[in-house]
Amino acid sequence: MSTVAGQHYPIACHAAHEVIARRGIHTVSMAQFQKHVAALASMLPERQHVLNLCADRYHFIVGFAAALARGQVSLMPSASVPVALRILAEDYPDIYALTDSGNTVALPSIVFPDDLDGHDPRPPAPIPGVRLSSIQFTSGSTGRPKPVPKSWSTLVHSARMSGIRLNAAQLQGATIVGTVPHQHSYGLESIVMLALQHGFAVEAATPLYPADIRAILERTPRPRILVSTPVHLRALVAEPEGMPKVDLILSATAPLPGPLAVAAESCFHAPLLEIYGCTEAGQVATRRTTQESDWHMFDGIAIHHDGTGNWASGPAVEGVAPLQDIIEITGPRHFRLGARAADLINIAGKRSSLPYLNGQLLSIPGVEDGVFLLDDTTTVGLVQRLIAIVVAPALSTGEVLQALRERIDPAFLPRRLAIVQSLPRNALGKLPRSDLLQLMEDTV
């Protein structure tokens, strides 16, 4: 499966009889999928940009493939909130939305058809690699979201290199169960594209709660691949009833603590691979967190440093893309990861990082969730101040602070600490800073 300039690549690499999606006890074959894609493609309006909001993962994949077949570009904002949609409508006036499950947006929309089986058009042809497939967007926390265009060949090459690293050939017939949204770059690459380019099936549901994840895994035949995040894995390994065996676990979106990686492998009786990447560069490297600290770059990926930062390039990267972390090259294909520059803290001449402090906070018995952050509202001059928000139903603020005193330097103790019922995590388990500051304001 080589990637050559000017080449065309199929939307999916399954045989006609192979299962491409599962929904409960029902399955969808590659032959059915091809008909569904071609049928939906013939129904799409004559517009250039589509916002695919389908909650059903199979509907999303059909919509993504149909738009690709029509030469339409899928827009994937970091959040589908009204402000983000307004910005998209301003920047892409011909946008329309593809929806299901009754969701409505303030955009021209079409609803995913209830039945595409009655149509029998010609299956979609392979797609030119140079075709623009999608535009992903950074979070826009410092301003207007930045578009990150991805060609079809970039997505294909990334998925194929990822599959080589994951030994996809040893997982033939596997089904991917994902707890992350498919509209995000991680979900698109590690669920949708990984399945399409390696003959895997995809579970149509996106389960979030441990009981739902257990039920779906129990009904899904092996081999099974679980695509998740540290936040979800923490909840899953804490389940007293345990979890069904899987054959591979993937984790991304946030640093994975070593003890949690060990617990996850024990819980699911499977190896866990952590993925390093970002929206701009896509997936860059992996590591077996329980066995190694260094990251192993995908074939063809090159990382270089200049006076402005670290940059990634290669066939799986669109152009040259920035990496926000501190990176130390440790070998021809390996690197070690430091904290992001924005996460480094210097208080009274002492240095630490937010990920390290968060790890110490989460190690406290009784702390179910928690996070440190810099409180810009109380920073005086160049002196940084920390605050912490914690989910710890059985502990008091004094008990949490005392436990922190035993774990971190006093310089990094939070000046304000709030105990709350839950943190405002999004679907990827991330914590928008503005939501945290508002939660602190409402609590303290």
Task: State pLDDT tens for residues 300-319.
Answer: 999 998 878 889 999 999 99
Residue 349's pLDDT band, with cuts at 50, 70 and 90, is low
Tell me, yes or no, whether 238 lies in a domain: yes
Both 186 and 329 in one domain: the answer is: yes
Q: 380 or 392: which carries more pLDDT confidence?
A: 392
pLDDT tens sequence across 59-82? 999 999 999 999 999 999 877 777
Average pLDDT over residues 47-58: 96
Question: Would you state the pLDDT for residue 121?
Answer: 67
Residue with token string 């101040």: 385
Q: What CATH code is carried by the domain that includes residue 431?
A: 3.30.300.30
Please check whether residue 1 lies inside any domain of the structure: no
**Per-residue confidence (pLDDT) for residue 142, from 0 to 100:** 46
pLDDT of residue 139: 62
185 shares its domain with 278: yes
408 plus 295 within the same structural domain:
no
Average per-residue pLDDT for the chain? 89
Same structural domain, 210 and 353:
no
Domain boundary among 295, 317, 338: 338
317 in any annotated domain: yes
- pLDDT(267) > 70: yes
Rg of the chain on CA atoms, in Å = 22
User: What mean pLDDT is predicted for residues 334-361?
Assistant: 80
Instruction: Say whether pLDDT at 376 is over 80.
Output: no
Strand order in the sheet with 320-323: 302-306, 309-313, 320-323
**Which of 412, 419, 411, 413 lies closest to 440 in space, CA to CA?**
419
Reported confidence tier of residue 87, pLDDT bands at 50, 70, 90: confident
pLDDT of 50 higher than 50: yes
Q: Which residues pair with 311 in a beta bridge?
A: 304, 322
User: Which among 338, 357, 391 is the end of a domain?
Assistant: 338
What's the pLDDT at 1? 39
Q: Are 404 and 415 in contact (CB under 8 A)?
A: no
| 152 and 131 within one domain | yes
Residues 6+ away with beta carbon under 8 Å from 246: 177, 217, 222, 223, 224, 225, 226, 268, 269, 270
CATH number at residue 108: 3.40.50.12780
Q: Please tell me the predicted confidence (pLDDT) of residue 352.
A: 81
- Whether residue 202 is predicted with pLDDT greater than 60 in this model: the reply is yes
The answer on pLDDT for 441 being more than 90 is no
Considering the domain boundaries, does residue 343 fall inside one? no
One domain for residues 364 and 333: no
Q: Does 254 share its domain with 375?
A: no
Closest to 338 in 3D by CA, of 305, 299, 376, 385: 305
Domain boundary among 313, 338, 363: 338
pLDDT exceeds cutoff 50 at 2: no
Burial (Cβ within 10 Å: 0-12, 13-18, ≥19) of residue 377: exposed
Please report the sign of the dihedral spanned by the C-alpha atoms of residue 55, residue 61, residue 63, residue 67: positive
Assess whether 334 and 355 both reside in one domain: no
Which residues have a Cβ under 8 Å from the Cβ of 187 and sit 6 or more positions away? 178, 180, 181, 227
pLDDT in tens, 220-265: 999 999 999 998 999 999 998 899 999 999 999 888 989 999 999 9
Position 3 in a domain: no
Looking at the fold, whether 400 and 309 belong to one and the same domain comes out as: no
Residue 309 lies in a domain: yes
pLDDT at 443: 80
Over residues 423-439, mean pLDDT: 84
> Are 285 and 352 within one domain?
no
Domain-embedded: residue 2: no
Question: Is the pLDDT confidence value at 91 over 50?
Answer: yes
pLDDT (mean) for 209-221:
95
Cis peptide before 223 (omega within 30 of 0): yes
Q: Are residues 332 and 372 in the same domain?
A: no
Confidence of residue 138 (pLDDT cuts 50, 70, 90): confident
Mean pLDDT of 126-152: 85
Residue 395 located in a structural domain: yes
Range of the domain at 24: 8-338
- pTM of the entire structure? 0.85
Based on the structure, what is the number of domains in the chain?
A: 2
Q: Which residues contact 101 (CB under 8 A, 6 or more apart)?
A: 54, 55, 56
Residues 315 and 382 in one domain: no
